[in-house]
Structure 1
């Protein structure tokens, strides 16, 4: 197929990728499955389990994704996304179905934790990097849309899963959702083609290099040999910590700090999720206009304000709490939406599947650091407030890193100009 045809077909490819991401984002609906599954296993085995006892399942699922993002990314860069999405879709849906036969926590760790988590990593890496390659003219927007559909799944899927569970039981819920998403992911994958090397949409010419953009295609080894990679990796970790601190414990925060009811705390969780999604798209569009790193610097500053609002919120301060949690949601979404395009800008698109998989390790680190800070501060003080001050420190460090990034690239440009003359 000629490049001219891909200029039209790329929108179909993006749509298919968004449908796939909507499905695989359902992994983050674990909180809907955990409580009824704990009740089921308790009755089955004559033990007393709670949702907290099953938390290890989600920890495993959330931790193993970068493994297949990197390994599947290499296959994607070499042979294209169809095979990667097919295998990943079978693993993701198969893990869900396998969980529908669970008789123990170990069974769930293998099914939901390993199979579903590894499948998600393969599929997510392939859809994001392929979409980015087809839209060199709109990387921010496309990165925002692709990750937004992944994020909005945590709003749409839980009520659907809860309804199936109420009417048919928890095991049937796993099986039905697993089969449905296997079909959707694998069929949608056939509409996603490998992006031709050097693809340019009709009528578009690459802009001159900016501080965020380089024309070279770095292999993962070359990327690891640059100081820029480590700056961006730590920047991603710092920026994601604030969001993951709050996302992981949004409901307990609302109830313990503000005194909200269960229903009001659930509404706060939904608000956070929706603003997280909105932030991905809005920041993606903004980054196309003012630059990726400038957008992230703004997100770091706003995150400081959001965390401070949470720090000063007390019992009954619903408006202050909502203001803080809303800012944090938007800023966390900014980091998730901007980084796929930033990685491609910085290190090229040819090996972006592997490179973004490695860069995504910064998110996995933040996924451990953020919630751990919250738990340890609460255990030590009986309050979450001290954790917000630590989070502010991470955001300020992220802002400093954006400045270091710009200084580094100004120096590189000066050296290049001097060498040319």
Structure 2
């Protein structure tokens, strides 16, 4: 099988891996049952809030192994990196099934699984981007979309296991399956040859990855474009991370929805998030990455204004708002892997995108924090929507700064 055909097999394998890795978004399904189990085990009453630190750490440590694992990926190929990441991610979940305390979970799930996730996820994205220089936007959208789609299809399955037993059994069963799927899928992935060009495609003369521009992380950090892109990602992902972190609570407190209706809102947001990743990735191949991101910033402003205008019982505004914010957030997550490769070249993209992903981590920390603090102070979310709206406007301005700096570099 030639590489032009085999790359589709590699894409499928990476999508299967990302479907497993995206289960981190299903943490809330484990948390309630695990809190009850640990309460009975320790004799100390624990809530899902007490376990939130586990999820926070699992998300926060990802960029560490995206960067370090990315270096190994670029030097030695993705197979071994994903194998190690899969062993850590799935193994950490299995070990979590033996947890006897919150600190145990912090180590097993927060650190071991979280670090494994970052290692494997960074390699899958980078590998696919390298094999599809002709469709970087679309492929970046698909691979990140599958990761997000995991939050739609896995929670019901995990819930069935939890309801039939408890979270400890679910951790062991699901972790074991993920370990096997990720590691077996990794065996099909090979390094992309430098300068690979798919059959039937002629690279444009200005293509960064095939036109001779392949910057390592040190060269990237010296470029002012990097800092503009990092800030743009932070601004663009802020609203999505803010809303995603507390969609259910916003649905209940802002609109007055029931718990069941609020869970539906979470699924709706997830679906539009996935749709945004694929559609924006495809569109960015046609109209350009920066133009697509500018549109995403405008859409986010519209969505946040709709949420700002939402009052109790106003379901239409609420659903319209979270849907548009979901599309916008998905756009940033789908476009940025290809955007980074376009700008700094594909050769070192594993490390470069890992560093760029710090922008997402910043949004992931500050977005939920602002939302939580504003609601605690005001008893309402409106001011948080306005803060996020201002950041989206700043993101839009950064797209023009990017164009200016880029044009100046060319001239």
Q: TM-score, normalised on structure 2? A: 0.99
Matching of residues 54-73 of structure 1 within 5 Å: 54-73=51-70
Aligned to 2:266: 269
1:226-265 CA distance string (max 9 Å, x none): 0000000000000000101100000000000000011110
Secondary structure at the counterpart of residue 51 of structure 1: coil
Q: Give the number of aligned pairs.
A: 411
Which of 380, 389, 402 is the aligned partner of 1:392?
389
Q: Is the 8 A contact 1:86 1:186 kept in 2?
A: yes
* 2:156 matches 1:159: yes
Aligned positions of 1:374-413 closer than 5 A: 374-413=371-410
Map Cα deviations across residues 38-81 of structure 1 (whole Å, 9 max, x no partner): 00111111111100110000000000000000000011001100
Matched, 1:278 2:275: yes
Contact (CA 8 Å) 1:209, 1:215: kept in 2 or not? Answer: no
Q: How does 1:125-274 map to 2 (within 5 A)?
A: 125-209=122-206, 215-274=212-271
Select 1:121's aligned residue among 118, 121, 125: 118
Q: Unaligned regions of 5+ residues in structure 1, if any? A: 415-421
- Distance, in Å, in 2 between the alignment partners of 1:365 and 1:412 is 28
Q: Tell me how far apart the structure 2 counterparts of residues 225 and 211 of structure 1 sit (CA, whole Å).
A: 17
Query: Secondary structure of the residue that 1:198 maps to in structure 2?
Result: coil
CA distance in 2, matches of 1:170, 1:7: 43
Cα distance, 1:410 vs structure 2? 1.4
Unaligned stretches of 5+ residues in structure 2? none
The answer on whether the counterparts of 2:209 and 2:341 sit within 8 Å (CA) in structure 1 is: no
Q: Does 1:353 align with 2:346?
A: no
Instruction: Please give the alpha-carbon distance, in whole angstroms, between the structure 1 residues aligned to 2:209 and 2:123.
Output: 23
The match for 1:74 is 71
Q: Which position in structure 2 is the counterpart of 1:106?
A: 103
**What are the Cα deviations for residues 300-333 of structure 1, in whole angstroms up to 9, with x where unaligned?**
0110000000000000000000000000000000
1:152-194: CA deviation from partner (whole Å, max 9, x where unpaired):
0011111111101111221110000000000000000011110
Structure-1 separation of matches of 2:145 and 2:216:
28
Q: Which runs of 4+ in 1 moved over 6 A?
A: 210-214
Equivalent residue number for residue 366 of structure 1: 363
| CA deviations over 1:348-396 (Å, ceiling 9, x no partner) | 0010000000000000000001001101111111111110000001000
**C-alpha contact (below 8 Å) 2:209/2:344 kept by paired residues:** no
Deviation at 1:208, TM superposition (A): 3.0
For 1:210 and 1:255, locate their aligned partners in 2 and report how far apart those are by CA, in whole Å. 48
Q: Distance in 2 between matches of 1:313 and 1:382?
A: 15
The aligned counterpart of 1:326 is 323
With over 3 angstroms needed to count, the CA separation of the structure-2 counterparts of 1:308 and 1:43, relative to structure 1, is same
Deviations 1:122-179 (A, max 9, x none): 0000000000000000000100000000000011111111101111221110000000
Q: Aligned partners of 1:235 and 1:267: how far apart in 2?
A: 30
Q: Secondary structure at the match of 2:215?
A: coil
Aligned partner of 1:418 in structure 2 is: none
Shift of the 163–377 alpha-carbon distance from structure 1 to 2, 3 Å rule, reads same
How far apart, CA to CA, are the structure 2 residues paired with 1:212 and 1:274?
32
Describe the shift of the 1:323–1:267 C-alpha distance in structure 2 as closer, same or farther (beyond 3 A).
same
| Partner Cα separation in structure 1 for residue 81 and residue 373 of structure 2 | 39
Contact 2:208 2:214 in 1 (8 A): no
